[in-house]
Amino acid sequence: MLEVKNLLVFFENSLALNDLSLEVRKGEIVGVLGSNSAGKTTLMNTISGLMIDIKRKEDRRGGERITLLGEVRFEGEDITNTEPNERVKKGIVLSRERHPIFPDSSIEENLKIATYLRRDAEIKKTFDFVYTVFFHLREIKKRKAGFCSGGEQQMLAIGMTLMTKPRLLLMDEPLLGLSPLLQRDLRRAIKQIRGEGVTLLITEQFARPLLPIIDRGYVIENGILVLFGTGQELMNNPEVKAAYFGV
């Protein structure tokens, strides 16, 4: 479904991704593990197309020079230079770390705003699905998003991406800052989302809660792929245990 080939992203004097290749097959949950500053967010911004906007803004203001090399293919089509809004229309949607919400609007209004690209008759069905996955949001749907807890805002942000009806959902560090209880709820939600036919690529620095639910995973360090395998293989790998589990 998704192929990333020999991806290189260079920020002025810093190499963020170095000859990185990976693939995501339809129906999979694939994880990308790495410590802080390993290149996870750069990878997601490049796949989603946001890096094109970031580069364009830097070029206009004469700021940091950004170099992008390599290839991104979605269902066999080269989308390396495709604009981010066109990628959303193809079904590639990014749930960013600390994803922006509209704090002065209610939860339900935020979800409605996220449907602006849709013209189909199944929006109500998607609402029902979001409220099924994140059932707590149904109880507080009239509450202004700015008055929600951090965990509730995270659920809302993911719910907003689901309202776009994604085919490939990119989740950048969704477990960051969540309590163990909310992490458990989010893992359950991720499996439900996959059950609806959505393919997921998830970046995370917290390997312990993520590895049990992924089909395959990649480990990156300093923008370089250092390990890959099934979730179970990575859980049993002594290098992963030492780096992420402290054993």
pLDDT at 166 exceeding the cut of 90 = yes
| Chain segment 192-210, per-residue pLDDT in tens | 999 989 999 999 988 888 8
Q: Is 219 contained in some domain?
A: no
Rounded to 5 degrees, what are φ and ψ at 59?
-65, -40
Enter the pTM of the model: 0.90
- Into how many domains does the chain fold? 1
Confidence class for position 220, pLDDT limits 50, 70, 90: very high
Q: Other CB atoms closer than 10 Å to residue 119's CB: what's the count?
A: 7
**pLDDT score, position 246:** 54
**Is the sign of the CA dihedral 211, 189, 23, 215 positive or negative?**
positive
pLDDT the model gives residue 151: 84
Domain of residue 137, residue span = 101-165
Is 62 a domain residue? no
Q: How many helical (H) and strand (E) elements, i.e. helices and strands, does the chain have?
A: 11, 10
Residue 80 lies in a domain: no
Most confident option among 2-6, 157-161, 171-175:
2-6
**Alpha helix (H) ranges present in 18-76?**
40-48, 50-60
Q: Which residues of 136-148 are buried (b: 16+ CB within 10 A; e: fewer)?
A: ebeebbeeebeeb
Give the mean pLDDT of the chain.
90
Which secondary structure element, helix H or strand E, spans residue 133, and what is its range? helix 123-133
Q: Would residue 67 count as lying in a domain?
A: no
> What is the rounded CA–CA span in Å between residue 240 and residue 247?
9
Q: Is residue 56 part of a domain?
A: no
> Would the pLDDT of 26 be above 70?
yes
Domain assignment present for residue 144? The answer is yes
Phi-psi region at 194: left, alpha or beta (left = phi > 0; alpha = psi -120 to 50): alpha
Would residue 3 count as lying in a domain?
A: no
Is there a domain that residue 118 lies in? Answer: yes
pLDDT tens-digit readout, 58-113:
888 888 889 999 999 999 999 999 999 999 999 999 998 777 889 999 999 999 98
